[in-house]
Every structure is written in C-alpha cells, then in structure tokens.
Amino acid sequence: MKRSLGLFSLILFTLLLKAAVCPAEPRAVYVLAAVGSVNPGLAEFIVDGLKEAEKQNAEALVIELDTPGGLDSSMRQIVQAISNARVPVVVYISPSGARAASAGVFITLAAQVAAMAPGTNIGAAHPVSIGMGGKIDPTMEKKMVNDFVAYGRALAEERGRNPDWMEKAIRQSVSIAASEAVKLKVVDLAANNLDDLLTKINGRRVLVQGKPLVLKTAGAPVKRIPEGLRHRILKYIADPNIAFILMMIGLAGIYFELAHPGVVLPGVIGAICLLLAFFAFQTLPINFIGILLILLAFVFFILEFKVTSYGLLSLAGVVSLFLGAVMLFREEGGGPGISWGVLIPTVLTVSLFFIIVAGIVFRSHLRQTMTGAAGMVGERGVAITAISPEGQVFVHGEYWHAVSDEAIAPKDPVEILEVIGLKLRVRRVQKNS
C-alpha cells in the first residue's frame, strides 16, 4: 500500500514538474478580412470563419472590417452567427481609411470587443433603398426604421455600448471618427494595428454565450483565414446588378445558339453565365414572378422568328422583360435591388439584340434557297447526249443524268425543271431565248 502511494506521488510530482517547465502552448488568434459590401458571399465567408475558429478552439476571432453596408438579410445572418459563437469575436475596423457604415455598424456592435484603427469611421446606419429609384412607401419606411432602431438598441445594450448613439446613427445617419467613437462608448478602444489590438485586449473580460471568459491574446500566434475561391466568386456575383446582367447575357447566348444552331461559342458562354446567375440567385431575395416574366419574354422572342407577328411578339417580349427585371428582387430591409442605371441600358440592349437576331432569321427564311438541289431549279445547261427520254446533261461543271418529256438533241441548251433524286427533269430551251 505504501509502495503504491509512493509511486502515485512520484508520477504526480513528475507531471506537475513537466507542466511547470513546459507550459501549454497558447491558443491561436484567428483573423479574417471582411472587405466589401455585406452580401451573401461575405456572410458565408464570416460564418465559415467562425466555424473554423470554433473547430480549432481559437482564443478569439478578429474580423478586420471595411464595408459600406449591404443586404439586411446577410447582416442579420452575420450578427446571429457572432452572437451565438462559442469563441470571442473582435470586430476591428481597419486599416486606416476603412469604414463600418450601415450594416457594418450592426456587425461591429454585435461583437464582444469592438475596436477601430485611426482614420476610420462608423455610422450612417439609416436603411435606404438604392433599387428602382431609391423611394419606398413612407409607412413602410417608418416601420423599417423602427425595426432597425429596436434591433440596434438591443445589440448595443447587450454589449454595454451606447444605445442612444445607435438610434441616432439609424434615424439621422450620423457618422463619427475613431476617437469620438471611443469617447462616446460606441466602440471599446482604438488600436494602431493588429499587434497593438491584441496587446490592448489581453486580460479583457468578455461574455461568450453568457459565460465569463478572460482573453489571453498578448503574444498569441496569429493565423489568417484566407478567402476561398467560392467565397470570392459569390461575393462578387451576389450583387443583384451583376446577377441580373449575367442572366441577360446567358439568355442572349442561348437565344443566339437556338437561332443559329452549331455556332457553339454563344451557347457555351450563355450556359456558363446562366449557371453563375442561378448560383447568385440562390442566396438573394428572389421574386419568382420576376423570373417567370423574364423567361416568358425569352419565349416571345423565340416565337418571333417562328411566327409572323409583325413585331407584336417582340413588343410583348420587351414589356415582359422590363416588368420581370423590375420585379426580380425583393428589396428586403432597404437592401439593394437593380438600379435604374443598370436596368434600362441592359433591357434595351438585350431586347435590341433579340429583335435583330429574330429579323436575320426571318429574312433568311424568306430568302430563296441558292444552294443544294433546290437551288438548281431554273438553272441552264447543255445536253451532252440525245435525251429521248433519258440522256446526259452538263450543268455547273458536272454531268447529270436527265429525263425529258420531249426529244432533245446533243448540244441543245436545257433548263432544269425539277431534281428527282440523282436525276434532273429538263426541257429544251430555244437557242435565241
């Protein structure tokens, strides 16, 4: 018994000595750069970054933020992910010259720690609509603003920040610099760079899912989370204007391929653009009536070169295309839709393209066939042998078997009346005609 206690004491002493001599390696701080408009691509990147930080049991995740704002739905997705994260989140508005405007304000206030670099600003969180002329119903705007105010105040109060300033940023679109933001307790601190930030927040007490936690960031290894190819593509094409243009290019390419089978390249480009557009649509607030109207316009333009409508189908296609573009996106929470500066030129250009292609196809159908067997009818040649009722003729540099309802002598001029398989039915032509 005494031997067992002695062995246990020796093992315990060895473990304690090892822990004292070789302390545990500090946990890493993960960093990702969130740059650009708040859209589904950026939201997915931040959410995936949070999951990676949680998986690696990171000390904290630092989001280097620089955004002009963006979609309400994407902003709320990011805020929800930050609020429910199992690791502390630090939003750092940087580098100098960066901003956290509109949706970026909500993202900043949602973090356990909010910091700003010198020369940055935060604010201007009033919800706006930049699609379809930028005007919304006054009653709807009032509801939207009140909803944003309640949401913003709740975030600020939860993190112990200034809810009154948050309300002013929403209602009056106020914006402030880093030094004033620290003074008004909008953010927690200002830091010159990432190293300065990690030094200043070291030892700070934060709440993560309701549980207190002390940050140990001084000297912690820093690991950056790179932006993947999928995130980069989605971030750029998830803009409603870009997605709409891609859809129009895709439909134009498919339309040209259907009008001129075998060209291949327009069809390939059209298919790729359509796939990219649908990839963006799955993350954007789509109105399916808008998509159906655009597809209906596509059908009208195809029918234009199949049915003689004297332009009525083209007109219906233009109207349907315009209405579909207007209705394509639901502007939720004041998020961006298609701007008039993109919609009008795109609709006019694509409509003109469809009409021109339909006109070319229609004229080609009316034009008399000049090649092949049908193109030989009416052509003239010379009889090589007597044709009574069969013989040979020479037409277009080729010898043909021919039949005739009348006797034709050798070297008499003949005219082709009909092509029957590999034989020609001809008639004799008077030499002076």
pLDDT of residue 264: 82
Residues 6+ apart with CB under 8 A from 116: 92, 93, 94, 122, 178, 181, 182, 187, 189, 190, 191
* Amino acid sitting at position 48: D
CATH of domain 374-428: 2.40.50.140
Domain layout of the chain by residue ranges: 26-230, 239-366, 374-428
pLDDT of residue 131: 43
Answer for the pair 379, 371: CB distance below 8 angstroms, yes or no: no
pLDDT of residue 10: 59
- pTM of the prediction? 0.67
pLDDT of residue 399: 85
Answer for the pair 294, 247: CB distance below 8 angstroms, yes or no: yes
pLDDT of residue 70: 82
pLDDT of residue 146: 92
pLDDT of residue 364: 63
pLDDT averaged per 10 residues, the chain (length 433): 54 55 71 90 93 95 93 91 96 96 95 96 79 58 89 94 95 94 96 96 93 93 90 80 90 86 85 88 79 90 77 87 85 59 87 82 59 70 89 86 89 88 85 61
Superfamily of domain 26-230: 2-enoyl-CoA Hydratase; Chain A, domain 1 (3.90.226.10)
Nearest to 393 by CA among 383, 378, 403, 404: 383
pLDDT of residue 21: 46
pLDDT of residue 334: 46
pLDDT of residue 15: 55
What is the β-pairing status of strands 211-214 and 205-208? antiparallel
Answer for the pair 353, 252: CB distance below 8 angstroms, yes or no: yes
Nearest to 426 by CA among 374, 384, 381: 381
Nearest to 67 by CA among 10, 123, 151: 123
pLDDT of residue 17: 53
Tally of CB atoms within 10 A around 431: 8
